[in-house]
Every structure is written in C-alpha cells, then in structure tokens.
Amino acid sequence: MPPLRRLAFVVNEQKAGASALAQTLAATAASAGAAVRVVSHASIPAGYLDAQDACCVIGGDGTLLGVASPAARAGVPVIGVNCGSLGFLTTFSADEARAQFAGLLAGAYQLTPRSMLACTIGPGEPHLALNDVLIKHEVNSSLVRLEVFAGDELVTDYSCDGLILSTPTGSTAYNLSAGGPLIHPGAAVIAMTPICPHTLSNRSIIFSQDIRLRVHNCSAATRLMVAIDGQRNLPVNPQAPVEITIAGPRLKLVQRLDYSHFAVVRAKLKWSGGAADKS
C-alpha cells in the first residue's frame, strides 16, 4: 500500500495513556519524514482531515465513531488505536501500535472499507452512521409506535422501546445487545432490530443494500429522537419520516496485514473454539 506521508492524529486525552502514546507515535511519524498534526477529539476543526493520507485515532471506539463521518466524506483512512475497553473498531492495542507504526507508515497495511448509513430527517445533507441509527422516544425509554416501509412496501408496525438500524460493522454494538444478529462487515446489508417489541414474533430483519427504509411516527402525542452512532441526538419532526439508506461514502479502516475479523470477534466476545483451544 502507499506510504503514509501526511498524518492527522485525533486523541482522546481523557483515556489513560492516550496523550503519551500520541506523542510517541507522532515522533515516530516525524522521524520517518511524515508531516504530522495533532488535535484533541473534543475540538476537531473543520477541514482538519483535508489532504491527509490517514487519521490516527487514539482512544476507544467512541472516539473513532466521532471521526468516522468526516473521515468517510474526506476519503481519509483511519487507524484506530485502543486505549479504552472493548475496541471492535480500534483494533490496534497501544503495544501493537508502538511496534508496528513504522511499518504502517511505510505501507505495510491493508484497507478494509466499511459501509455506512445515510439518515435523513429533514432538509439538508444526510447524517452518516458507521454503527447504527437509533429511533426512540425523545426524552425517555417510553413505548413508541413506528411504521416501517421498505421502498413503497409496508414491512410492519412496531410497538417497542425503539428501533435500531445497523450496519454490519455496528452489528456487534447496540444491535447485538438487543438480540440482533452478528453480520460480517463485508456484507452489503442493513439490519433492523426492535428494542423490547410488544409482539414476541418481531425479530431482526436484514435488508439488501439498495433498499430505502422509511420510519413513520404513528403517535401524534410522541416526539421521536434519532441517535447517530450514539454521538449525536437529533429531534424528529412528528410529520416527517426518518429515511435510512446505505451511504455513498464508505469508511476505510487501516488494519495490519494479518488482520482477521473473526479473530477480533473471538477475542472481544470471549468465544472459545480458536485453534489454540483444540487438542
């Protein structure tokens, strides 16, 4: 892969060790001749990722989710370094980043593109989500009544605590906690999972990539909220549907050459059955 000569760092300074790690990695990049810029995750200026070869995010998955939309729109690959807990997206540990960073800069990496959702709740540019779009009551976890269309075809109406529209990448997040399926990140689909549905036969539905979903609020007395990747909470006009499609931009994640999605899943979800477990 091409060497990385212009590198933007986004650092979650609230994570233990993140600032010191950023200094170490930035020094490694500078010593290799790369142009480096560093900013806190809480104050990313507009255009910060413009003309960069990659963005190195140091923190946790939440930190990376905050960068995903501008990175995808700018076409800038993201290196995720985990200083948090679980880390499905930030797959480099601090030790791995220190050991492998010079190699990454030289081009020893692979890019794994991840699909995103485009969510429209009114006029203006769609909001991009790497993990999921959550539709729920505006202020609490009260019951909501939602009607879902796939194109012009009615899917069903739900009485539930909320509805999760998930990418394959986000299938390991809120979708999984709500009983939804695990989906390989290379699949071109949208998963829809109701939260605590009042009809027990309501289960997750998987839609193809070319579908346009519309979610209508069926209760005039209820105001809805849309949460984008758990980062941005947006009020919904009661008369307007929430529309979700697969977005045009995709996020490119930088991974080591021997990256294995299922190795990450086994480790993070503490599955057994790896080669080391076989006698």
What is the tens place of the pLDDT at every residue in 56-114?
A: 999 999 999 999 999 999 999 999 999 977 788 998 999 999 999 999 999 999 999 99
Task: Measure CA 160 to chain center.
Answer: 24
Q: Three-state SS across 170-236?
A: HHHCHHHHCCCCCCCCCCCEEEEEEECCCCCCCCCEEEECCCCEEEEECCCCCCEEEEECCCEEEEC
Q: What share of the chain is helix, strand, coil (3-state, %, to 5)?
A: 20, 35, 45
Domains of the chain: 6-115+250-277 (3.40.50.10330), 117-246 (2.60.200.30)
Question: What backbone phi and psi angles, to 5 degrees, belong to 138?
Answer: -65, -35
Per-residue pLDDT at 11 exceeds 70: yes
Q: Is 96 helix (H, G, I), strand (E, B) or coil?
A: helix
Please state, in angstroms and rounded to a whole number, the distance separating the CA atoms of residues 4 and 8: 10
Reported as a single tens digit per residue, the pLDDT across 206-262 is 999 999 999 999 988 889 999 999 999 999 988 889 999 999 999 999 999 999 998
Q: With pLDDT > 90 as the criterion, what percentage of the chain qualifies?
A: 82
Strand pairing of 127-129 and 213-217? unpaired
DSSP string, 52-68: -SEEEEEE-HHHHHHHH
Please state, in angstroms and rounded to a whole number, the distance separating the CA atoms of residues 229 and 131: 6
Give the global pTM. 0.92
Q: Is 140 helix (H, G, I), strand (E, B) or coil?
A: coil
Reported as a single tens digit per residue, the pLDDT across 113-156 is 999 999 999 888 999 999 999 999 998 778 999 999 999 999 99
Q: With pLDDT > 70 as the criterion, what percentage of the chain qualifies?
A: 97
Contact (CB, 8 A) for 257 and 110: yes
How many helices (DSSP H) and strands (DSSP E) are in the chain?
5, 19
Residue type at 172 in one-letter notation = T
Q: Is 111 helix (H, G, I), strand (E, B) or coil?
A: strand
Contact (CB, 8 A) for 172 and 243: no
Does 50 participate in catalysis according to the annotation? no
Q: What phi-psi label fits residue 273: left (phi over 0), alpha (psi between -120 and 50 degrees) or beta?
A: left
Contact (CB, 8 A) for 57 and 77: no
Please state, in angstroms and rounded to a whole number, the distance separating the CA atoms of residues 263 and 274: 8
Report the sign of the C-alpha dihedral through residues 179, 121, 67, 75, in that order.
positive
Tokens for 91? 């797959």
Catalytic residue among 61, 132, 161, 229: 61
Residue 169 DSSP code = G
Contact (CB, 8 A) for 141 and 214: no
Per-residue pLDDT at 275 exceeds 70: no
Q: What phi-psi label fits residue 49: left (phi over 0), alpha (psi between -120 and 50 degrees) or beta?
A: alpha
